Structure 1
Amino acid sequence: MSRNPERNDRKSGKKTAPSVKPGGRFDAPRGQDRGGNKTGGWNPNPPAKGFSDSAPRPSRNTKADADNFVWGRHPVLAALSNPARKGMGRLIVTADRAAEIERDRLAPNGHKAEVMDPQQIDRLLPAGAVHQGFAFKVAPLEGVSLEDIAEDASGVIVMLDQLTDPQNVGAIFRSALAFGAKGIVVQDRHSPALAGALAKASAGATERLPCARVTNLSRALEKLADMGWRAVGLDGSADLTLEQALDASPTVLVMGSEGDGVRRLVAEHCEAMARIPMPGGFESLNVSNAAAIALYETVRAQSR
């Protein structure tokens, strides 16, 4: 049995996985510069588009200093390249990294490096943080509106139902970006800040992939259904396999929380629940591994 607290296929004993419903219905911009031109990053403060539940919501402010830092080569360089970060943050690097940033013009938005010894940087970060000579003290990104991600109904969106482990969430961001997902949807009150260990695990994906924070996932799924999206949740006890449940429709992949999987009310707003077949007999997958497999299968189904 997996010891990882986040498993996507445990039987909760509390819900009945809904099947595909007749009719294909549910029951129940990226960043721009000041001139309006699209950029490679995403704006943490875009204008709301009229839905109060899906308007951009700030990340939960915590007292943990890790929430105010991004560290490691890939996360810091991605943050420096994000136009939304212009004028924000304190860049702290070792002398050789400062020379590299200057030589290769790795800070296109005007950030100036503050040089410290590696041991000094160690003392600024949580114990065990592998910073590789890069640290960036900056507020966590706040997110975009649900409509910014979903208005073009095509491809795949990943919804995380109360996942709280930063390593797993960061790894899912990385996989979602690799497979071309439109963005990530999380519940505002039950998701970690897009910084610290999460940003490190994402290898910079949190700076490039939009994230929408919403109050209620079930209502978000209703809105997504109205916008042409089809939700498929993962549940290890489901009758359908992913291959059977997926088609070429714009798809929201719903990944369950630690221990209990996708919650009952969220599952009821999915058109189908599906499992990843595991003929090897091992009973569970880490949720970030399950997300990577589900993303691959979704992209494959949409290309058929």
Structure 2
Amino acid sequence: MAKPGRPGASKGKKGATKGSGGKGKKSLTGRGPTPKAEDRVYHKAHKRKQLAERSAAKRPQQRSSTPRRRPNDDNEYVTGRNSVLEALRTRIPATTLYIAQRVEMDDRVKEMLAIAHKRELPILEVTRPELDRMAGFDGVHQGVALKVPPYEYAHPQDLLEQVISRGETPLLVALDGVTDPRNLGAIIRSTAAFGGQGLIIPQRRSAGVNSAAWKTSAGAAARIPVAMAPNLTNVLKDLKKQGVFVLGLDGGGDVSMPDVELADRPLVIVIGSEGDGLSRLVTETCDQIVSIPISQQAESLNAGIAASVALYQVSTLRAQISE
């Protein structure tokens, strides 16, 4: 009579049994997770995946709506006949002069070609669509463009020292939050027109000297240096330590522009943005906050116009004092 076994114990011989995973120890590890249906060559999903990939390969790829910049094209393009001619006259280190095909010749274009030939500057005839690309959005090239290296900004301290070394009374303009390059170009032009010697712009939240600023300045950007300040407030404080008075323009200023008594002193006039005006820290740094009298029908002045009025007033007062 057989001895009763332990409950649940196997009565068969030792070794592999059916469903154990195979005879060898390695067989117990299994074959990994089951592949996806689309990865199994015998499955219908795999065939559908292959058909979809073939169809996608035949379709033309869509072009990105964002225009790509040409590789290694870090140059700026000065456009417009006055701007290009002024840049050539002042020997801006240009690399190429572009002329539109069948361009209408006038005295300015003839002088451009003469200067370019004398300086052995390459002259290329290009299509108007190519000039449109150089001028950028809403740019006007008038059939000419000049490729120039990226603008080299001066140091604020060097700017002041150069003015003093020439025996002139400093009249500088600083911009606080002016982000439209066309406003910057207009202010550069006004600075040149009314005896200013340079501009100071902050490194952040400010327009830079690009093709739009060059165009609006009508060539004045070739004569009036622009300095860049890592921190505008600190630069203004340094200028004050060296005897420069800081006037901030604001509609709510305590002093009306015609009544300014500091016009004959070394000055830096600070222009704020049209929307936000002067920042708080810059306002606190100013020696005086000056307002421009305007009609009640107008809420404010454009930054470029405000700079023109202020510079004209200072130049007029200086002329009256010197008489």
**TM-score (ref. length: structure 1):** 0.72
Q: Does the 8 A contact of 2:88 with 2:115 survive in 1?
A: no
**Structure 2 counterparts to residues 244-283 of structure 1, below 5 A:** 244-247=259-262, 248-279=264-295, 281-283=297-299
Counterpart among 177, 180, 184 of residue 162 in structure 1: 177
CA distance in 2, matches of 1:109, 1:257: 40
CA distance in 2, matches of 1:193, 1:66: 14
CA distance in 2, matches of 1:100, 1:67: 25
CA distance in 2, matches of 1:107, 1:264: 52
Larger Cα-atom Rg: 2
Are the structure 2 counterparts of residues 244 and 66 from structure 1 closer, same or farther at C-alpha, using a change threshold of 3 Å?
farther
Letter of the structure 2 residue corresponding to residue 157 of structure 1: L
Q: Does the 8 A contact of 1:241 with 1:274 survive in 2?
A: yes
Q: Does the 8 A contact of 2:201 with 2:229 survive in 1?
A: yes
CA distance in 2, matches of 1:229, 1:129: 37
- SS in structure 1 of the partner of residue 83 of structure 2: helix
Partner of 2:307: 291
Letter of the structure 2 residue corresponding to residue 144 of structure 1: A
- 1:74 is aligned to 2:82: yes
Q: Does the 8 A contact of 1:267 with 1:273 survive in 2?
A: yes
Partner of 1:238: 253
**Structure 2 counterparts to residues 195-234 of structure 1, below 5 A:** 195-234=210-249
- SS in structure 2 of the partner of residue 282 of structure 1: coil
CA distance in 2, matches of 1:74, 1:232: 32
Query: What CA deviation, in whole Å up to 9, does each residue of 1:258-304 have, x standing for no partner?
Result: 41111111111110001001145422111111110000111122222
CA shift, 1:200, in A, is: 0.6
Runs of 5+ consecutive residues of structure 1 not aligned to the other structure: 1-62
CA distance in 2, matches of 1:90, 1:238: 47
Are the structure 2 counterparts of residues 171 and 277 from structure 1 closer, same or farther at C-alpha, using a change threshold of 3 Å?
same
**Structure 2 counterparts to residues 42-191 of structure 1, below 5 A:** 68-85=76-93, 88-94=94-100, 96=103, 100-101=110-111, 104-105=114-115, 109-151=119-161, 152=164, 154-191=169-206
CA shift, 1:99, in A, is: 6.8
Partner of 1:48: none
Q: Does the 8 A contact of 1:184 with 1:212 survive in 2?
A: yes
Letter of the structure 1 residue corresponding to residue 99 of structure 2: V
Are the structure 2 counterparts of residues 265 and 67 from structure 1 closer, same or farther at C-alpha, using a change threshold of 3 Å?
farther
Q: Does the 8 A contact of 1:145 with 1:213 survive in 2?
A: yes
CA distance in 2, matches of 1:102, 1:170: 22
CA shift, 1:165, in A, is: 0.4
Query: What CA deviation, in whole Å up to 9, does each residue of 1:132-176 have, x standing for no partner?
Result: 111122223121121222121614100001211011111111111
Query: What CA deviation, in whole Å up to 9, does each residue of 1:69-128 have, x standing for no partner?
Result: 21111111222233341xx42221135559714664366543221112334322443243
Q: Does the 8 A contact of 2:173 with 2:198 survive in 1?
A: yes
CA distance in 2, matches of 1:108, 1:79: 15
CA shift, 1:227, in A, is: 2.0
CA distance in 2, matches of 1:169, 1:206: 10
- SS in structure 2 of the partner of residue 141 of structure 1: coil
CA distance in 1, matches of 2:280, 2:175: 14
Runs of 5+ consecutive residues of structure 2 not aligned to the other structure: 1-68
Partner of 1:59: none
Q: Does the 8 A contact of 1:155 with 1:299 survive in 2?
A: no
**TM-score (ref. length: structure 2):** 0.68
Q: Does the 8 A contact of 1:231 with 1:270 survive in 2?
A: yes
Are the structure 2 counterparts of residues 230 and 122 from structure 1 closer, same or farther at C-alpha, using a change threshold of 3 Å?
same
Letter of the structure 2 residue corresponding to residue 206 of structure 1: A
Q: Does the 8 A contact of 1:101 with 1:107 survive in 2?
A: no
Amino-acid identity (%): 35
Q: Does the 8 A contact of 1:81 with 1:109 survive in 2?
A: no
- SS in structure 2 of the partner of residue 69 of structure 1: strand
Letter of the structure 1 residue corresponding to residue 315 of structure 2: V
Aligned residues: 241
Letter of the structure 1 residue corresponding to residue 205 of structure 2: H
Q: Does the 8 A contact of 2:95 with 2:122 survive in 1?
A: no
Aligned-CA RMSD value: 2.6
Query: What CA deviation, in whole Å up to 9, does each residue of 1:218-264 have, x standing for no partner?
Result: 11111111222111000101121012234211111000024111111
